[in-house]
Amino acid sequence: MNQSPNPTVVITGASSGIGRALAFEFAARGYKLGLTARRMEVLEKVREEIRAAHPSSVQRIELQRLDVDATEAVGPALHALFAALGGVDIVVVNAGINNPTFIGKGHLAKEAKIIQTNVIGAIATVDAAVEHFLTRGGGQIVGISSLASLQGIPGQGAYCASKAAISMYLDSARVELRSKNVSVTKILPGFILTDIAPNMHKYPFVVAADKAAREIVTLIERRVRVGIVPSFPWRWLRPLFGHIPDWVWAKMM
């Protein structure tokens, strides 16, 4: 399916961080936008700011409240948004959380919440998007996974497991949907300066969310299978992931 000259993109978790920055970048490139998150008042503000920043290129911006933890409600909420936009070309599965969790320390509920949001919430989003694309004749799923999907990190067991799980789900989806004109792009960010964790500025090679968003949207437009962001230095360091000695990671704890 050929995309329209002003394609439409839906972004989950668009109220802050990477999702918000993606919304600005897509708007600058003339896309129509569907933005979702739980905090509607913040989404309203994001919409106002995008309109003020890009008065000439902004096409249309629809908002939809979406809590991806309410699994049964994800499909109906997204289908309502797809209908309001008159059809959607790209869905960016971005909503996610991270919290330090330590094994054997009574953190099971925190761990279950991370799996619920980052895995079940993301799968529910992919499911609704693909249902829409299959009736429409095609589309593109973009999953925001993480470099943490490739390497176990102390204090991040549930988060790493959640990102490894959604990465594998996206890989399966890519193969399964190949003949259905639905492409799947998996993005593996390194460290991006957002509210997802305290002291993000102290992490190695951290970049601002708007810089990451520029790279991510370019990768989406190229319909890459896997994109690493920021590309420097992580693309070159990626082969080391999974092979870094345990004592190096243990020291970072």
Question: CA separation (Å) from 211 to 21, 42, 83, 251?
Answer: 9, 21, 31, 30
Nearest to residue 95, comparing CAs of 162, 27, 178?
162
Q: Is 69 in the site for ligand NAP (CB under 6 A)?
A: yes
Q: How many CB atoms sit inside 10 A of residue 56's CB?
A: 6
d(CA 131, CA 206): 36
Among residues 50, 61, 85, 97, the one that binds ligand NAP under rule CB under 6 A = 97
Q: Is 73 in the site for ligand NAP (CB under 6 A)?
A: no
Q: Give just the sign of the alpha carbon dihedral 124, 128, 131, 134.
A: negative
Paired residues of 8 in beta bridges: 32
Q: Is 15 in the site for ligand NAP (CB under 6 A)?
A: yes
Segment near ligand NAP (CB under 6 A); pick from 53-61, 99-107, 133-141, 192-200: 192-200
Query: Could you confirm whether 169 is annotated as catalytic?
Result: no
Which position among 31, 159, 169, 203 bears the catalytic label?
159
Q: Which is nearer to ligand NAP, 36 or 140 (CB)?
A: 36
Among residues 9, 61, 144, 217, the one that binds ligand NAP under rule CB under 6 A = 144
- In the complex, the residues that contact ligand NAP under the rule CB under 6 A are 12-19, 37-39, 42, 66-69, 94-98, 117, 121, 144, 146, 189, 191-192, 194-196
